[in-house]
Chains A and B, each alone.
Chain A
Amino acid sequence: MSQVVVVRHGQTDWNLHGRLQGATDIPLNDHGREQARHAAAYLADHLDGATHVVASHLSRARETAEIIAAALGADVTTDARLAERAFGVWEGTTLADRVRDTPLAVERWDSYSDPGVEGSEPAADVGTRFAEALAEHSARHESVLAVGHGAAARLGIQSLLGMGTGRGFEGLGNTQSAVLRRRADGWRLLRYGIGPSTVPGPL
């Protein structure tokens, strides 16, 4: 029986100020590191050094993973397929910026269609790569902990569950977790959005 825990990285300054990060590599802030330490303490009560910890290459995820892995006594592996969805020209913008400058794209995004702005990654592609990464790591390890990102984790988990990358879940809040279990004929969701009671960040 294989279990995958997906955790969203801790807070960054751009999360705090509502700026979309996407592929932009913004580091954790001090509050984010503290969040990661709290999450690590909680996860260490339930997971151990046998857990395969993997993170996207983006520093906010990698550093969160390092803090958690240290508490578990595990190493950290990097997998670029766990990176956040690229949002292209939207990276660095706030919701107010986007509503002002690209209102139609915002409407599309709100109804779970691709915003289609320059440089943004289609949801289906993100879901597929994230899900493939989870499936591959879990095929080799009974217990996996993957540190990822809000939009990518939502899309990847929905893909893994066979729900498609349209509507379904909100994004995880900073250091919130999801737990999935692999069964003979697919995956099952056991937990989602558990952990600190933070308002989910932008997708």
Chain B
Amino acid sequence: MSKLVLVRHSPTAHNESGRLQGRLDIPLTDEGRAFAAVVAGRVVDRHGLPDQVMASPLSRAVDSAMPIAERAEVGILSDERLQQRSYGEWEGLTWDEVRERFPLEYERRMDGADPRIRGWESWAEVAGRMGAALREAGERADLTVVVSHGSAITAGLSDLLGVDPSAGVFGHLPHGAWHVVARAGNGQWRLRSYGLGADWP
């Protein structure tokens, strides 16, 4: 049985000031780095040492994965397909700024749909690449920790479970929290846990 532990990276300065990052490579804050070490302890306590640790190439993901990889004494495998969704012209803006400058497209986004702006990567695109990366990871090891990003994780999880990512079924994943999916004998991925490591909602 193959298991994937999908962890959201720890906070950056943009996360703290509510700015969208997308493909912008914003580093962890000092607190974020310290928190990543705490998260590593929680993940290993719950699931044991992973055989494989993967991360999106963005530094906030790599640096969040580092303490887990160190405990497991493995390298971090980088996969571009694990990156956060590209937010296009919204990257760097706060949600208030988005609402002011793109009122109609903001509403579309709040309804869970893809806004029609330059550079936006659709749910379908993110889900397709994340699903492929996660399935391949699951073929290579029994226990894989994957450090990625909020929307990307939602999209990837949706793809593995056959759920429409724009349906809004899956709620917010806090930083440093994670989901667990397990692959059954017949190859189907199933959700075992959602939002482990998070405070009570």
Contacts and interface: CB of A to CB of B under 8 A. Distances in A.
A119 interface: no
Which range contains the number of A residues in contact with the other chain? 20 to 34
A190 B185 CA distance: 27
Interface in A120-168: 161-163, 167-168
B198 interface: yes
Interface in A145-203: 161-163, 167-170, 178-179, 181, 183, 185-194, 197, 200
Contacts of A30: none
A45 B199 CA distance: 11
Contacts of B163: 163, 168
A110 interface: yes
A24 B122 CA distance: 48
B109 interface: no
B170 A194 contact: no
A193 B171 contact: no
Contacts of B191: 168-170, 192-193
B161 interface: yes
A27 B182 CA distance: 30
A192 B195 CA distance: 7
A191 B193 CA distance: 7
A186 B168 CA distance: 9
Interface residues of B, number: 26
A168 B190 contact: yes
A39 to B, nearest CB: 13
B104 interface: no
B201 A179 contact: yes
Contacts of A169: 190-192
B18 interface: no
A65 to B, nearest CB: 19
Given A111-B186, A111-B188, A193 B201 contact: no
Contact of B168 (A112, A163, A188, A190): A188
B169 A162 contact: yes
Contacts of A110: 184-186
Interface string B175-190: 0000010101110101
A74 to B, nearest CB: 17
A200 B190 CA distance: 12
B188 A183 contact: no
Given A110-B184, A167-B188, A193 B167 contact: no
B194 interface: yes
Given A170-B182, A170-B192, A190-B195, A163 B201 contact: no
A192 B179 CA distance: 9
Shortest 8 CB-CB distances between A and B: which pairs?
Answer: A193-B193, A192-B194, A191-B195, A46-B200, A190-B171, A190-B201, A188-B171, A169-B191
Interface of A: 3, 45-46, 110-112, 161-163, 167-170, 178-179, 181, 183, 185-194, 197, 200
